[in-house]
Amino acid sequence: MKKLALYWQILIGMLLGVLLGLVLSQFAWGSQFVQDWIKPFGNIFINSLKLIAIPLILGSLIKGVSDLKDISQLSTIGLKTISLYILTTFVAVSIGLTIVNLVQPGRHIAENTRNELLTEYAGEASERKTDAQQQLDAGPLQALENIVPDNIFGAATDNTNMLQVIFFAIFFGIGMILIPEKQASPVKKFFDSFNHVILKMIDLIMMTAPFGVFALLAALVTEAPSGDLFIALGMYAVSVLLGLSMMIAFYILAVWLITKKTPSYFIKGIAPAQLLGFSTSSSAATLPLTMERVEDYLGVDKSIASFVLPIGATINMDGTSLYQAVAAVFIAQAFGMDLTLTAQLGIIVTATLASIGSAAVPGAGMVMLVIVLAQAGIPEAGLALIFAIDRPLDMFRTTVNLTGDAAVAMIVNKSETKNL
């Protein structure tokens, strides 16, 4: 018998968790039973995601930056590529924040349900509010000062210091680029292998996702047995899909205005790669087909495509960044937290930088979301609200990710046509 795909397993786990929670919530002892015997497995799953966050950032980001060693020979192309990737990621996060603030999916949760959530996670929420107040009381340049750690080992022991870890990883990668290749080679090989090990660990963690989702949803339903949670969840999904659709439109418009290629030409050329990316939820797995379509059907020079697209599969995660922005604000809204403009700007910076270290494999986006939540002072327990539908949305995010890679390749190719 053919094994069920992981996303089906997760959906089944979600359904069974909701059903069990609804049934047990009818009994006086049901809630306590779930708390004692089921919820701990959900907490273990969340902890495993948090456990892997810093190693994933270090491995993926150092590898991604050090892979740019060819930028010394292709400095102009490299500068254009990185600048465009950062720009599109910034646009994606901004679109996500705009939509989630307009739609406000978390506001569909009734006040009594929100109070139950806050009561359940009172300790964690209180810590976050204290951290947020300290940030408000700090000077205008405190956020910039906090990015540079005085001890990387100390910074790596706390997920709330993730921007410091990202800074160190980028700084370390740049240092590897600037020393002779022979000297950097052993370190690069180590981090390449380290990155592969971390990705395999993510695979192992994701194998337990159906059980983790089952436990989290069962606990969530017994703690706050209200249908408005699921209405809000539906609005959250609509917000993410609306943002991703707008991002696709942004790519089409950019390609049309800059390269003068029609929308139908662009979509027809990249469509097969989009479909493969949708089914695999992996930009890395789709990379060979993406390169073929971009070179043979979109007219990008091979030297450009072979440089721009592999980098994009590593550091350009526009769909993932957009989703992280929507998810972070949605969870904050669900917990009744009002994020300040400073906090939301912090989400833009963190999500943009974290996307550089987001591995091009299924499930990595959820690990990166832990980073964004921690940096913004939002309770990580809110992951329970969104994890159940993360996998289907991941398929759409991957489609956006690789579409952005193709669009940037076409724009860079257009700007370099005279030099080729």
Q: So what's the pLDDT on residue 136? A: 44
Kindly tell me if the per-residue pLDDT of 249 is higher than 80.
Answer: yes
Kindly tell me if the per-residue pLDDT of 187 is higher than 80.
Answer: yes
Q: So what's the pLDDT on residue 190? A: 92
Confidence category of residue 263, pLDDT binned at 50, 70, 90: very high
Confidence category of residue 139, pLDDT binned at 50, 70, 90: low
What are 123-131's contacts with CB under 8 Å, separation 24+? Answer: 124/379, 124/380, 124/381, 125/335, 125/337, 125/379, 128/337, 128/377, 128/378, 128/379, 129/337, 129/377, 131/160, 131/377
Kindly tell me if the per-residue pLDDT of 73 is higher than 50.
Answer: no
**190 vs 220: CA distance, rounded Å:** 41
Kindly tell me if the per-residue pLDDT of 314 is higher than 70.
Answer: no
pTM over 0.75: no
Selected residue with higher pLDDT from 46 and 6: 46
Confidence category of residue 264, pLDDT binned at 50, 70, 90: very high
Q: So what's the pLDDT on residue 70? A: 53
Kindly tell me if the per-residue pLDDT of 71 is higher than 60.
Answer: no
Q: So what's the pLDDT on residue 356? A: 59
Query: How many degrees, rounded to 5, is the angle at CA 282 between CA 279 and CA 287?
Result: 105
H helix or E strand, kind and range, residue 161 = none
**Highest mean pLDDT: which range of 6-15, 58-67, 181-190, 295-304:** 181-190
Query: pLDDT per residue over 344-374, tens digit each?
Result: 777 777 776 666 555 444 455 666 677 677 7
Confidence category of residue 261, pLDDT binned at 50, 70, 90: very high
Kindly tell me if the per-residue pLDDT of 417 is higher than 90.
Answer: no
Confidence category of residue 291, pLDDT binned at 50, 70, 90: confident
Average pLDDT, the chain: 77
**178 vs 174: CA distance, rounded Å:** 6
Kindly tell me if the per-residue pLDDT of 245 is higher than 90.
Answer: yes
Confidence category of residue 132, pLDDT binned at 50, 70, 90: very low
Return all residues near 276 (Cβ < 8 A) that are at least 6 apart.
285, 286, 289
**169 vs 60: CA distance, rounded Å:** 9
Q: 45 and 208 in contact (C-beta within 8 Å)?
A: yes
Distances (CA, A) of 286 to 38, 202, 232, 273: 37, 19, 33, 7
Query: pLDDT per residue over 147-181, tens digit each?
Result: 788 888 888 887 666 667 777 887 888 888 888 88
**103 vs 123: CA distance, rounded Å:** 29
